[in-house]
Amino acid sequence: MERIIFYILALIIVVFSIASVSSRKMLRSVIYLLFVLCGIAGFYFLIDYNFLAAIQLTVYAGGIIVLLIFSVMLIHHIEMELEVAKKSRQILVGLLCLFGLGVFLTTIYAHPFVVVENKLTTSTADIGHKLLSYDAGGFILPFEVISVLLLAAMIGAIVIAKKSRE
């Protein structure tokens, strides 16, 4: 049962990734990308990591995709189509993609995966404790660094937005 769902999700992700980069209409690409991201959220649900799945849906599907749609709506007219790249470039990109795929596949098949019997569902409380713990394996430092980074980004955005007023 889980195997079937896995293959269905994988198929969705592969098909829509290809559709996303090959579509000539910009908003359609964005929507195909949304399906890919939802498929990844589906994987997280499948391995019982509900918290990450919900975050994936909120941040990527709800946040990033909405922002992308917004920018497309502002700059793009409905009848415009994206240009098709030159043949030589297409071949170059295709070769690069094949190379990348090869590297991935060799690493995956060379790595001895160990099946971990993990029936525990990670709760939100566990994640919270881990994020704020000072002990070994705690994530307090990256957590703080990221919050400072976000603050800096926010101040930067405000400064850029204010500049045009003068």
Q: How far apart are the first and last CA of the chain?
A: 62
Closest to other proteins by CB, 63 or 100? 63
Closest to other proteins by CB, 2 or 88? 2
Closest to other proteins by CB, 15 or 65? 65
Q: Where do contacts with other proteins occur on this chain (CB under 8 A)? A: 1, 25, 27-28, 31, 34, 50-51, 54-55, 57-58, 61-63, 65-66, 69-70, 72-73, 78-79, 121, 123-124
CB of 130 to other proteins, least distance (A): 16
Amino acid in the structure at residue 53: A
CB of 159 to other proteins, least distance (A): 18
